[in-house]
Amino acid sequence: MIDINQQTKQRMYLTAESIYRFLLELDDKLDTLILCKSSEVNLVTTDQSLYEALGSIEDKSKINFNKLVKFMEVTELLPFLQTMKKPRQILTDKRVAEIRALKKEASAAKDKSVEEAKDTQQDKK
């Protein structure tokens, strides 16, 4: 039996970078999308992207396992080998640096928005 709702939903692919930002709580919109499980979007990723995201986290003690479990619950995990028709790739230092660079950008953007919110509150006074 085919679920008609499944066919009308959008599919959103989560990259290693987006998974990394989610696990380190750097993206409020992504947190909401995953934790609240949108009924309009099917979340999809590959085992390669999950591997890259987890492997790029410097301090493994900062991984929130409850968030990881929720991520696994609401995301369809596809095998990279079957999806891309090639074997998974080893996580290199270069790739880790690329993923971590986004953390710095996300942190800077978050800090800027916090500062703007503070400025707005002070202007209202």
pLDDT in tens, 79-115: 999 989 999 999 999 999 999 997 666 555 555 554 5
pTM of the shown model = 0.75
Phi, psi of 98 (to 5 degrees): -60, -45
**How far is Cα 11 from Cα 46, in angstroms, rounded to an integer?**
13
pLDDT in tens, 26-54: 989 999 989 887 778 899 999 999 999 99
What ranges make up the beta strands (E) of 19-86? 41-46, 75-78
Q: Which two tokens stand for residue 80?
A: 């990279």
**How far is Cα 69 from Cα 56, in angstroms, rounded to an integer?**
18
